[in-house]
Amino acid sequence: MGKSRQCAESCVDYLALELVHHYRTQLQGPSLQAALDAVGERAGRQLAERCARDRAPLLEQLEAVKFICKEFWGEVFRKAVDNLRTNHRGTFVLRDTQFRWLVRLSQNQMPAQLGQPLPAPAAKADLAADFLLLPCALVRGALAQLGWDAAVTADAASLPQVDFTVVMRQQVQR
Amino acid sequence: MIVAVAVVGPINQPLYLSTFTDDESARLSTLVHCSLDAVEEKVAAGMRGVTTDVPDAYLGVLAVEEECKVYGFVTNTRTKLIVVVDDPLIKDDEMRAIFRRMHTAFADAVSNPFYVLGTPLVSPRFDASVRTIATSLGAAA
């Protein structure tokens, strides 16, 4: 087998941004969400297959979530999750205090024409909503491939910190 | 030497089967499917904590039929890799190495964006990798 090839991290950043912009030109609202969900889920499944290789079996729900917090997050978002909370009844909150994909998200937008005053800054949470669809889908796809059906949502009220809430549904039939 | 290699998906759907002897592909595929029961037993035993061993992805010998032994390996994504061997002197370490290489080849094949997960795997590159792994066993012995 050949040596593993690598590319600059900025390529992943730009690709993620361009993905959202591309679909935004064609779709709005629920269908935009569905398109990004589909892309992310597929990629999440493939990444899980690759990342979970050569590891001890992940039999427990908590082990699977811890795998996502450490190994999976490290592979995809280049760091580990900073804080994991659970209610021990299937709901987990993964907190990433410096979410790398959104660290440079700016609230300021350009005015329609040069010389006009800047428009009021939009709420960061709204701006980030579309860009968080892909990471949520990646996590959902990875968990699905590991055998856990889950719903993943993200809360970006205080960027650059992002809270991902994972609600586990029924375990997929083994 | 390795006689057959099979990949079975999470809901026990057959994804891939490749045989390396001249005939008997029907007998070998039946053998592979019968060994799936043994896989379920071992995985269930591991989950119940019946054995005191650390849970392991490598399942060891699943079944023995005539001169052939069937070895199994379960990935974290519940894909099963099954290998049928007719060499009685094969060691566990060798089999673990074989499964590791096969898992790598499988992860590469699954990364193909045109492959639909859960459907039969048709990939010339995966065929070639499996063939290389299978023949390397005979050569190293």
B75 to chain A, any CB pair closer than 8 A? The answer is: yes
Bridge partners of B69, per DSSP, are: B64, B85
Nearest by Cα to B63 from B6, B114, B134, B13: B6
Cα separation, A20 vs A33, in Å, equals 10
Residue B53 confidence (pLDDT) above 60: no
Residue A100 backbone dihedrals phi, psi, to 5 degrees: -65, -30
Closest CB to A53 among B54, B56, B104: B104
Residue A94 backbone dihedrals phi, psi, to 5 degrees: -105, 120
B77 to chain A, any CB pair closer than 8 A? The answer is: yes
Tell me whether strands B14-19 and A162-171 are parallel, antiparallel or unpaired.
unpaired
Above pLDDT 70, what percent of chain B? Answer: 89
CATH superfamily of A9-171: Trafficking protein particle complex subunit 3 (3.30.1380.20)
A41 to chain B, any CB pair closer than 8 A? The answer is: no
- Pick from A47, A65, A145 the residue to mutate for testing the B interface (most B CBs within 10 Å): A145
Residue A171 backbone dihedrals phi, psi, to 5 degrees: -70, 135
Cβ-Cβ contacts under 8 Å between A and B: the total is: 57
Lowest mean pLDDT: which of A80-94, A138-152, B53-67, B73-87?
B53-67
Residue A110: the pLDDT is: 67
Range picked from A4-8, A110-114, A131-135, A166-170 for highest mean pLDDT:
A131-135
B111 to chain A, any CB pair closer than 8 A? The answer is: yes
Report residue B55's pLDDT band, with 50, 70 and 90 as the boundaries: low
pTM summary value: 0.83
Amino acid residing at B99: F
* Domain boundaries of chain A, sorted by first residue: 9-171
Condensed to tens digits (0 to 9), the pLDDT of residues B5-50 reads 889 888 888 888 888 877 677 787 788 888 888 888 887 776 665 5
Mean of per-residue pLDDT scores for chain A: 84
Given the cut 0.85, state whether the ipTM is greater than it. Answer: no
Residues of B in contact with A66 (CB under 8 A): none
Distance from CA of A52 to the nearest CA of B (A): 6
Span A142-165, average pLDDT: 88
CB neighbours of residue A62 within 10 Å: 13
